[in-house]
């Protein structure tokens, strides 16, 4: 943080970071600036190849640099960031929006020097960045998410091909990805055209009458649509195989990390009793690994399922608590609190910024799943919905989830639903008092009217 000192010339900013450097990152070159007394050519241009990145690290070591600042420009900062962190430098990544207000001519040399100057006075606000292990884990988990989206697109292509042949399979079966739907689709691809034979492949639990299913499976069997159906189904199954391989790689990384840091069986996992669905199922025990790493079972929180827990683990990493002083700053980073703009003592705006935060999006999705949940958090969602509307209820509940996650990990305390019950009872008492006041006012109006 910046500090002010009193001098004979007045109040000035104090230099709190002396051994600092600034790097302006681009796709073709790296502009590196160090203090003038550290090198004859203190503002240099380097290439972007791997050997150039190691030359930058050597140059900074020779100049006795300890801290480095750079802008988060696309993905071009990732390689140099990893190299510098591995070499022991304290690297901070800053939002380009926070350092762009510089007057005069804008060049790479000036940008690098400006980053160095701001960093030396402690005027830069670093972005949250996990360690290199978490970053590798996050990349694979995000890749898995992309595969899941690709698989969903192929399912839509399968449905389209069936509809174009007037095969109304989705009308008589709730899920074409289920056992019955997949058996019928595979039989169609293998050449079966008789609706009576295809109907027999459906499971007995299917509630649709066979007569209706026979009508739904009587189509045109066009050659082109059968071809696209086969291609889309094969692509879907291929992507599912790649998702399984992603899960194996993630499990291998988590297992190696737990063994390296002696986290396995350090604490008994207090498992929750949630029913795990089959769609996008994770093919390893994510509940166990997350409990070993975080120290608590976050899956016990209502709304947090296997998928959400895996994403949270990949986005936040192991020691995310150290980067946030309190849960208010954590919620602000998750973009779950309004950005209040005050001028002249008046509140001008209290909107939530339109910026993408993966953890915030995960918590919003989890909050949305609580709208019909019978837990205390589900009651909290409906209470907020009655006050502020559906969209704001999602934000409020997502913020509540963020606070619970932060508190559980920081205090190493398992989820206690009774804490939420006390708040729910308090809200009900306030609602009761409000209704009583409204009833009393209505009685007074009736007395006056009579």
149-193 tens-digit pLDDT: 999 999 999 999 999 999 999 899 888 998 999 999 999 999 999
Q: In whole numbers, what is the pLDDT of the chain averaged over residues? A: 87
Number of domains present in the structure of the chain:
4
Is 195 inside a domain boundary?
Answer: yes
What's residue 54's pLDDT? 95
Question: What pLDDT, on a 0 to 100 scale, did the predictor assign at position 103?
Answer: 62
Q: pLDDT over 90 for what percent of the chain?
A: 46
Q: Which domain holds residue 292?
A: 272-420
190 shares a domain with 70: no
pLDDT at position 3 is 59
60-96 per-position pLDDT tens digit:
999 999 999 998 778 889 899 989 988 999 999 988 7
Q: Is residue 370 part of a domain?
A: yes
Does 265 score more than 60 pLDDT?
no
User: Rounded to whole angstroms, what are the CA distances from 356 to 292, 336, 418?
Assistant: 29, 11, 33
* One domain for residues 176 and 42: no
Domain with residue 67: its CATH number is 3.30.420.10
- Sign for the CA dihedral angle at 9, 15, 21, 26 comes to negative
Residue 198 within a domain: yes
Helix, strand, coil % over all residues of the chain, rounded to 5: 55, 10, 35
Has residue 267 been placed in a domain? no
pLDDT value at position 374? 87
CA distances (Å), origin 48, targets 28, 56, 246, 296, 362: 6, 10, 30, 42, 34
Whether residues 107 and 225 share a domain: the answer is no
Q: With respect to residue 337, please indicate whether it lies within any of the assigned structural domains.
A: yes
Under the banding of pLDDT at 50, 70 and 90, the label for residue 29 is very high
Domain boundary among 127, 162, 177: 127
Alpha-carbon gap, residue 205 to 446, rounded angstroms:
59
Is 140 inside any structural domain?
yes
| pLDDT tens-digit readout, 294-340 | 989 999 999 999 999 999 999 998 888 888 888 999 998 998 988 77
| Domain closes at, from 97, 127, 157 | 127
The confidence score (pLDDT) of residue 228 equals 96
Same domain, 278 and 405: yes
- Does some domain include residue 264? no
pLDDT band at 108 (very low <50, low <70, confident <90, very high): confident
The answer to whether residue 73 sits within a structural domain is: yes
């Amino acid at each position: 943080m910046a500090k002010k000192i009193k001098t004979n010339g007045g109040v000035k900013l104090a230099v709190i970071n002396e051994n600092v450097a600034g790097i302006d990152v681009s796709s073709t070159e790296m502009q590196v600036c160090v203090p003038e007394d550290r090198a004859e050519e203190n503002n240099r241009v380097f290439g972007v190849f791997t050997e150039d990145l190691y030359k930058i690290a050597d140059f900074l070591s020779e100049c006795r640099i300890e801290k480095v600042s750079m802008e988060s420009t696309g993905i071009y900062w990732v390689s140099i960031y990893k190299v510098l962190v591995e070499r022991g430098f304290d690297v901070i990544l800053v939002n380009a929006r926070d350092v762009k207000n510089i007057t005069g001519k804008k060049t790479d040399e000036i940008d690098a020097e400006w980053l160095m100057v701001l960093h030396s006075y402690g005027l830069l606000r670093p972005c949250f960045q996990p360690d290199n292990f978490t970053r590798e884990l996050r990349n694979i988990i995000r890749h898995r998410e992309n595969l899941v989206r690709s698989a969903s697109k192929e399912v839509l292509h399968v449905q389209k091909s069936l509809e174009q042949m007037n095969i109304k399979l989705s009308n008589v079966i709730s899920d074409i990805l289920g056992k019955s739907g997949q058996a019928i689709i595979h039989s169609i691809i293998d050449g079966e055209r008789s609706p009576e034979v295809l109907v027999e492949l459906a499971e007995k639990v299917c509630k649709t009458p066979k007569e209706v299913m026979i009508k739904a499976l009587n189509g045109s069997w066009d050659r082109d649509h059968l071809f696209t159906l086969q291609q889309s189904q094969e692509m879907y199954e291929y992507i599912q195989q790649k998702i399984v391989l992603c899960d194996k790689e993630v499990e291998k990384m988590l297992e190696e990390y737990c063994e390296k840091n002696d986290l396995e069986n350090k604490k008994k996992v207090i498992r929750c009793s949630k029913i795990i669905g089959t769609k996008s199922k994770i093919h390893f025990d994510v509940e166990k690994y997350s409990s070993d790493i975080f120290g608590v079972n976050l899956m016990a929180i209502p709304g947090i399922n296997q998928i959400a827990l895996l994403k949270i683990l990949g986005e936040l990493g192991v020691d995310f608590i150290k980067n946030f002083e309190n849960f208010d700053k954590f919620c602000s980073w998750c973009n779950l609190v309004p950005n209040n703009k005050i001028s002249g003592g008046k509140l001008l705006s209290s909107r939530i910024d339109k910026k993408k935060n993966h953890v915030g999006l995960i918590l919003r999705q989890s909050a949305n799943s609580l709208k019909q949940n019978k837990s205390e958090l589900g009651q909290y969602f409906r209470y907020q919905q009655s006050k502020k509307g559906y969209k704001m209820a999602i934000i409020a509940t997502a913020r509540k989830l963020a606070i619970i996650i932060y508190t559980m990990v920081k205090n190493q305390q398992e989820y206690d639903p009774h804490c939420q019950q006390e708040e729910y009872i308090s809200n009900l008492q306030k609602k009761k008092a409000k209704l009583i006041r409204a009833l009393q006012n209505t009685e007074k109006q009736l007395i006056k009217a009579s």
